[in-house]
Amino acid sequence: MKLRQAPNNIFVKLLLGFWLCSSLIIALIGLLPLLQQNHDQAELPPALERMLARSAERIASNPQVLGSEKLKHWSRFKEFKGRPARIYLVDEYGKILNSHKQSRSLRRFMLMADEAGHPIKHQFRDELLFGPYNFNVEGKPYSLYGRLPEHHPRPWFFFFIDNKILTLSIAILLSGLLCGLFAWHLGKPLRSLKRSADALADGDLSSRVDMGTVKRNDEIGQLAQAFNGMADSVEDMVNSQQRLISDISHELRTPLTRLKLSLALSRKKGQQTPEMERIEYEADQLELMIAELLELSRVKLNANETKRNLELAETLSQVLDDADFEAQQQQKQLHIDIDESIVLPLYPRPLSRAVENLLRNAIRYADTQVSIRALAQSNSILIEIIDDGPGIIDEADLDAIFKPFYRPQSARERESGGWGLGLAIAKAAIQAHQGKIKAENCQPHGLKISISLPFSS
């Protein structure tokens, strides 16, 4: 499968994402003082400038007021559009001549006006200051500043300037939100890849990464394409292997049938010898093994099966009847506890064969009794098959017993014959249901096989 060529831009996405996120937060915080300055500070309007000019003319026309006590009250209050305006006279040394109180906001405004280099106005929280208007009296420079006690509504974003801790907290929260969204954007396709990989590892060979991830134009999209290509190849190889086993098994049946026919003809001719009986026994064993191989191949390929919603008890009824009969023949007890209301999507034949193999195995090794029960859980059905036999001596064999042709070197081993295919068939059938199977020893002795079958199809 040829991969679509795409630029390697995960690094670019990471770089741009976090860089733009941090830059946006820094820019927003940094712009607040500039916005405030542009809003609060502006050129001196002509009307206010004329008011200061008239006050300067009155002082220039009556210079003796500068040296008298009347200066403390002269021109301190004026009317401007029906509002009281206060005028401040400042000498060349920056001293306010007509007021004893040194207004902090006025001092601050004087510094701002000095930095601006021209007359301005500035809106503080509850007052408007404006000026300076420069003029000379008897060769000495003076300046006039004005104040209007008024409050103008400020834009909503100035709230953040006055509440710096809250602004910092919101900036951190916003940064975390943006980074979280970016991380989610990158993490979502990776989670899809993980789910598909887990499903493939659990035996679901049809699992593929969704097309939304595959169509991404970055390395994750390329990885998704490569994963799907790998999954296609794995599925083809596994299916080819199972078909090969099935084909070989079918082909082996032809010479085996001829061999058994020859043995039958020999018996008719009176050629019955111990060697002939041994050959017939081995031929029967070989036929059984071929049948097991075909069953394993059929279950793994899931051939000619359709999943249907069925009652578990009804599906296993014949298997349970046969197992009960077999247990009675061996003077053992089989306890069955399966609720007839349990319904779930099933492949009837593979599941029946799996439970049959597990029950026969449990009955064979049990001392006196075997039990099978089914429990409904939140998202699955748990089936447990428990016997009171010797169990598995080596704990490492508990996972390996489900491998084809594997038989543990323990108490449950070779005296029973077999080729180690029964449990492999059971595991293949459970995996076809997207379920799980595991074995564990019981105390003080015995073996428990647990099967988990999902409700969803």
Domains and CATH numbers, the chain: 64-153 (3.30.450), 233-301 (1.10.287.130), 308-454 (3.30.565.10)
Sheet strand arrangement including 128-137: 41-43, 120-123, 128-137, 140-148, 83-90, 77-80
CA distances from 214 to 14, 225, 229, 230 (A): 19, 6, 11, 13
Active-site amino acid positions:
250
Residue 451 pLDDT: 93
Strand-pairing partners, residue 385, are: 372, 449
The whole-model pTM stands at: 0.50
Residue 156 pLDDT: 57
What residues of the chain score a pLDDT lower than 70? 1-17, 21, 25, 28-41, 68-82, 150-164, 167-168, 203, 242, 245-246, 249, 296-298, 300-306, 407-420, 457
Residue 304 pLDDT: 47
